[in-house]
Amino acid sequence: MEHKTDIKSLSFEQIKALIAGYEVPSFRAKQIFEWLHVHLVTSFDEMKNIPAALREKLEADCEIRNVKKKNVLISGIDGTRKYLFELNDHQYIESVMMRYRHGNSVCVSSQVGCAMGCRFCASTIGGLIRNLTTSEILSQIYEIQKDTGERVSNVVIMGMGEPLTNYRNVMDFIRLISDENTLHISQRNITISTCGIVPAIISLSKESLKCTLALSLHAPSDEIRRKIMPIAEKYSIKEILHACDQYFNNTGRRVTFEYCLIDGINDKEEHAKALAKLLKGRNAHINLIPVNPVPENDFGAAKEQDIRLFRKILEDAGINVTRRREMGRDISGACGQLVRRTV
């Protein structure tokens, strides 16, 4: 099959360059861009104010990549919606919409599967299948906004995949979703999560973005981190913290450290004390996540009394701590589980 241009992944400037070759007025670029990113159309036929001849040219040269809703689970407790989407090549990904007082937040996937091998995570069990295109990351938000009829105001790139190993497409996604001529989601409301790819964090710190960086730390020492995250063989906590400091210094945006509490592995008093020592003096914020059990491994959720003590030790050390609300408990299963039940 001939290769068509993935038009929804293009910036406004790139669409202008594309249609320059068609010898049509340049204002058509703005119209096409708006149909794609404001009206969220999925076919060229829907672009009503575009002349038929131009629509035919676009149809011949380009495709509008979309994701297809296959299933949605809705929490009876808090309205959290977990979506299963199918891609053009019949792969599956999942996205979650959470309703908060400050607005709707969508957690998007950036890859099909993941190569990182974190032991508590279901998304990595089948390895990495492929990167998502910019258009496929955008489409998760577009389809959820259309499905609910509600505006999405916050984005977390924390679903399947390690976003910083799909670097270019994720950067293009952030620039497009925050563009003032699209859904215009503020970069301050976008969080990008990473398991700690040091060179990519340093590149990210130079992108002039205003996003929040969420670093999946999950351990107070390299020794424990290596037991649960293979990436820890490659980069030490010291190197990671150094890169995070650079991110903060360049962007002025505080880094959030994500910490999954796993029973008996990283959730005891000594671990909390070591973590407090590691982060003391930093403008850090720790988000504690009681881990979701994954049937394929033997990690259990931390006990409530351990979670409380852990939090208290950090707070007593003057560290800013939140505990992630367990949204959609009744529909959940860990991230990646819906896909695993489907394929």
For ligand SF4, the binding residues (CB under 6 A) are 114, 116-118, 121, 123-124, 160-162, 195
Q: If 0-12 CB within 10 Å is exposed, 13-18 middle and 19+ buried, where does residue 31 land?
A: middle
Catalytic option among 114, 118, 195, 335: 335
Closer to ligand SF4 by Cβ: residue 160 or 314: 160
Q: Over the Cα atoms of the chain, what is R_g?
A: 21
Separation of first and last alpha carbons in the chain: 26
Closer to ligand SF4 by Cβ: residue 33 or 259: 259
Tell me whether residue 114 is one of the annotated catalytic residues.
no
Give all strands (DSSP E) within the chain, no chain letters. Answer: 5-6, 62-63, 68-74, 81-86, 92-100, 103-108, 111-113, 128-131, 152-157, 190-194, 212-216, 255-261, 285-290, 320-323
Closer to ligand SF4 by Cβ: residue 74 or 115: 115
Closer to ligand SF4 by Cβ: residue 161 or 220: 161
* Residue whose token pair is 């320059």: 20
Cβ 123 to ligand SF4 shortest distance, Å: 4
In DSSP terms, which residues pair with 180 in a beta bridge? Answer: none
Closest CA to 247 of 314, 188, 200: 200
CA dihedral sign, ordered 146, 157, 127, 292: negative
Cβ 258 to ligand SF4 shortest distance, Å: 9
Amino acid at 341: R
Tally the C-alpha atoms within 13 A of residue 76's C-alpha that lie toward its C-beta: 1
Cβ 114 to ligand SF4 shortest distance, Å: 3
- Residue 188 sits at φ, ψ, to 5 deg, of -65, -20
Cβ 289 to ligand SF4 shortest distance, Å: 11
Tell me whether residue 335 is one of the annotated catalytic residues.
yes
Cβ 158 to ligand SF4 shortest distance, Å: 8
Catalytic option among 94, 136, 143, 258: 94
Closer to ligand SF4 by Cβ: residue 190 or 229: 229
Catalytic residue positions?
94, 335
